[in-house]
Structure 1
Amino acid sequence: MATPDLLQDNIRPTLLRMTGPMMVGIVSLMLFNLADIYFVSLLGTAPMAALAFTFPVTFSVVSLAIGFGIGTSAIMARLIGQGRQGEAAELATDNLMMTLILVLCVSLTAQFLMVPLFTLMGATHEQLPYILTYMDIWWFGAVFLVTNMVANSALRARGDTKTPALVMAGSSILNMLLDPLLIFGWGPVPAMGIKGAAMASVISWACVSVIVSYVLYRRYQLIIIMKPVASRIFGHWLKVMKIGLPAALSNMMTPLAGGILTAMVAQHGAEAVAAFGVGNRLESLSLLVCLALSMTLPPFVSQNFGAGQIQRVIAAYHGAIKFALVWQLLVFVLLWIFRDSIADLFAASELIKTPLLMWLSVVPLGFGMQAVIFLSASTFNALHQPLRAMRISILRLFVFFIPMAWVANQVWGLQAMFVAFVLANTVASWVAYRSVSRLLVTKSAATPGESAANQ
């Protein structure tokens, strides 16, 4: 299948062609993580708890990688849209090199901080050896993980979502095969326990990094051999970081807010926390399509923005918003109809089923508005407005979501808190939509010569 032309092809079919593969890629990442959790859980409680302790640290690195990827994609796609393929290749090459160097420095520094860090987080003497064994290998592989994520973002900037999806699926399959082999051993391969789980991940990431880098070099000529020039390299890096750092910080806000909300839910008992945890996982699955769309919309926006085709940007953004609202309304209806069956499937007891039914009956109604929020934030990043994107995240989580949830919980209880989630998403989505729409109108007015026929 040929790579779509983001500047000329029809908007709706183009976004659909790009979004489908991204859904496969996201599911593959979910399966990758689930495989690690499942096989490590077979080792016992201590290794499983150790793996849980590593999540905040590894998620911070992943958030940084996502930020680098967003910055890379936004800058590259705009250059490609402007017809500056050579400059896009220079930026991709310099950015991958700087990413590699930065992650190596972080990984080496982290080796000296792991014991005090995980001790501060509450790890016991029993858990610490497992944590250190896992992280020693994980930090070595972080170079491949981050490089791979940034390289995939470069491919998406080019309009290619199929290759990242295929390599992510291949990585997930390889990890699922290597996990039991390296964790439990077989034949000449010794059992390595939790160390084997880390090695399986690193081998998978390394293989994917080689493949993606080869595609960038051979198929798209976006990795090139050139003389290193400090001014050029740091100039590219600063451009990427201007967008990437706010994007990374925005991404890190979500687990922070999630921890605060979990603490609120905990006031209603362990069963409510368990139900809330199930709800969070159902939320990820329910938003899967729109999450994939939020990863394919930015390259389209950035390329057309670079080409001065603002009307195509406006049409794509409004079309994505309409689709998200209709799709998530359909998801809500399905969840509401089958809420009893879903609660029976995930609830281990009636005490968990009751709050889970509350969640299923209310919270999914706000998923459409939630999709509007992250589609708007991704559009801001694609338009090189990262601070506006970060402002949306701050407003949603710390101005609307947490305060409204806290008041509802204190005054009316758990179900009212769930209603507050929907109201907070609604208010925040209206602010986000209005902000993006005003910016696009301003950009459109600045390019009066553009033909509406581009739509």
Structure 2
Amino acid sequence: MTCKAPEYNNPTSVEVCQKQRKRAVRKRWILTGTTSAVLSQLTIPMLFAILALFGADLIELYFASRLGVEELTAMSFTLPIQATLFAFAIGLGIVVATRLTQARKVEELAAVSLVFTAIVGSLLALVIWFNLLPILNLLGFDEYSAQQLQVWPSLKAYMQYRLTAVVFFFVVMVVFGVLRAFGNMRAAAWLLVTFSVTQVLLSALLFSPFTQGLLLSGLERLGIAHLLAAIIGFLFSIYLLVVKENISIKVNLLSQQSRQAFKCLMRLLIPVVAIQLLTPIAQSLLMGIVATQGSDAVAAYGVVIRLEPIALLLPMVLTTSLPIFVGQNWEAKKALRVRRSIKLAMLACIVWQLVVASVLFLGADFLSGGFCKQPDVKDAINLAVSVLPISYIALAGVMLYVSCCNAIGRSGLALNFSIVRLFVFSVPSAFIGSYVAGFSGVVWGLSLANFALGACLILYTIMRKQPDSLAKRPVLN
């Protein structure tokens, strides 16, 4: 998008051009700044944002565990559904950010994108709501058992609030992606932090003695807190988009440009979301495997799912910031900067995962006891927290490799690695482990699958380098 000469009698025109110049400066800085400095400034704001987002989910699960093992188990069954919604939100953010950064008329496309996001979110929420119980049953939830029959009404109300919040949450994540694409990492981080902190504060308020008179179950309170936080985050995201980035959201939805934009967004959304849905599908299969081991195993696995993003915090953040650096420098044919950034990111991830694995191993007993006092659930959480984090070193390497492949246009290779990781290594290993040794077998199976995949990635990169080195080697007479 180019900025024409501003009309200096029109303050709005001047301000818009200033915003456009700032975006251009950010892009040049990514290509010329020192690798460590650029990666640090791209990553650190996102570190706090992602920590706040997944930390809020973990605290929500902690409040559920305070209600009882039945509530913790019931909420654990909904985690694959929530992961599916999150995958759609991320996919929408990628699609909209891609189109906005490529479009000449950003303002016209922005409003269409927000309406498109609202439509997709509404349809998805309705589909899940009308099929909620069948979906939960596929995951292993049995509404006829005594414990789950008792908790089903409050779980249904909880999901009602969560699904009502889908449209607002989707808009938050789309604007988050747009701000990142424009290089405004600080505003993007503040958006997620605001949403997450609001959810935590509202949850704490609804569980405080001041609100004990409300005729609401514990799960309903958590659902209401998420809905209100999503509405507040939605209002803040619109403020950032309109006021801070000067992007108008006024549009004629019946115009030909709007119809073309809808078609383009839908065409881009299908493949992107298909890739994003691989992880929720794998989580659903894993939940079904764990459900065969009983409700205690489901409760423990629910905690593990929410702890994993925290343990993988730095690699997850780098998969959002490193592609920005790699993609733009690769396009500018600066391969040396790309290699340097990948080595630096991998070294940081190795150090991070070693520290995280050590802390979780030493504090496993305290952490598991904080979520549940029941011995079987506590022991299961203890085992998972002690064994799985060390294998995340290999998983972090795979995550960075996949994100860099996407950044340089090798999406097919990234898709193949993701499919192999989830459906060739993780799910079969968990299934075999559950058959051999129950829930502990699932934990060990997932850990060994991560290490095996890391070894395959190293072998693959070595084999790719050998032909290149042979081609460059001089022929001796």
Q: Shorter-normalised TM-score: what interval? A: 0.7 to 0.9
Cα pair distance change 1:391/1:420, threshold 3 Å: same
Letter of the 2:175 counterpart: A
* Matched positions, count: 429
Preserved contact between residue 49 and residue 192 of structure 2 (Cα < 8 Å):
yes
C-alpha contact (below 8 Å) 1:23/1:292 kept by paired residues: yes
Asked if residue 368 in structure 1 is aligned to residue 388 in structure 2, the reply is no
What displacement does 1:282 show?
A: 5.2
Q: Closer, same or farther in 2 for the Cα pair 1:256/1:111, shift >3 Å?
A: closer
Match of 1:294 among 305, 319, 325: 319
- Evaluate the alpha carbon distance shift between residue 359 and residue 92 of structure 1 in structure 2; reply closer, same or farther with a 3 A threshold: same
Of 242, 245, 251, the residue aligned with 2:273 is 245
1:158 aligned residue: 182
Aligned residue in 1 for 2:453: 428
> Does 2:85 match 1:103?
no
2:364 to 334, 342, 347: 342
Among 195, 202, 218, the alignment partner of 1:178 is 202
CA distance in 2, matches of 1:156, 1:333: 32
Q: 1:113 aligns with which of 110, 115, 131?
A: 131
Aligned to 1:142: 166
Match of 2:48 in 1: 24
Distance 2:330 2:128 in 1: 39
Q: Structure 1 residues 137 and 416, CA, compared in 2 at 3 Å: closer, same or farther? A: closer
Q: For residues 67-91 of structure 1, what are the alpha-carbon distances to aligned partners after superposition, in whole Å with 9 as ceiling and x for unaligned?
A: 2223444x25xx74xxx56355555
| Contact 1:406–1:417 (Cα < 8 Å) also in 2 | yes
Aligned equivalent of 2:346: 321
From 413, 419, 431, give the equivalent of 1:388.
413
Report if the CA contact (8 A) 1:243-1:384 is conserved.
no
Moved more, 46-55 or 238-247: 46-55
Which residue is 1:122 aligned to? 142
Q: How far does residue 141 in structure 1 lie from its aligned partner after superposition?
A: 1.4
SS state at 1:6 partner: helix
With the length of structure 1 as denominator, give the TM-score of the two structures.
Answer: 0.76
- Please report how far the alpha carbon of residue 32 of structure 1 lies from its aligned counterpart in structure 2 after TM superposition: 2.2
| Alignment partners' CA distance in 2, 1:199 and 1:274 | 22
C-alpha deviation, 1:371, in angstroms: 0.3
Q: Is the 8 A contact 1:250 1:390 kept in 2?
A: no
Q: Which 5+ residue runs of structure 2 have no aligned equivalent? A: 1-21, 466-477
- Aligned-residue sequence identity (percent) comes to 26
Which shifted more, 244-253 or 398-407?
398-407
Once the two structures are superposed, residues 32-55 of structure 1 have per-residue CA deviations (whole angstroms, 9 ceiling, x without a partner) of: 224434445566676655544443
User: How has the CA–CA distance of structure 1 residues 17 and 126 changed in structure 2, closer, same or farther, with 3 Å as cutoff?
Assistant: same
Q: Does 1:12 align with 2:36?
A: yes
Larger mean CA deviation between 19-28 and 32-41 belongs to 32-41
Amino acid corresponding to residue 143 of structure 2 in structure 1 = A
> CA RMSD for the aligned pairs?
4.3
Runs of 5+ consecutive residues of structure 1 not aligned to the other structure: 441-455
Query: Counterpart amino acid of 1:7?
Result: L
Which letter does structure 2 place at the counterpart of 1:365?
I
391 and 117 in structure 1: CA distance in 2 versus 1, 3 angstrom threshold: same
Tell me if structure 1 keeps the 8 A contact 2:323–2:407: yes
Q: Which residue in 1 is equivalent to 2:4?
A: none
**3-state secondary structure, aligned to 1:86:** coil
For residue 277 of structure 1, report the CA deviation from its aligned partner: 6.5
Equivalent pair of 1:344/1:353 in contact (CA under 8 Å): no
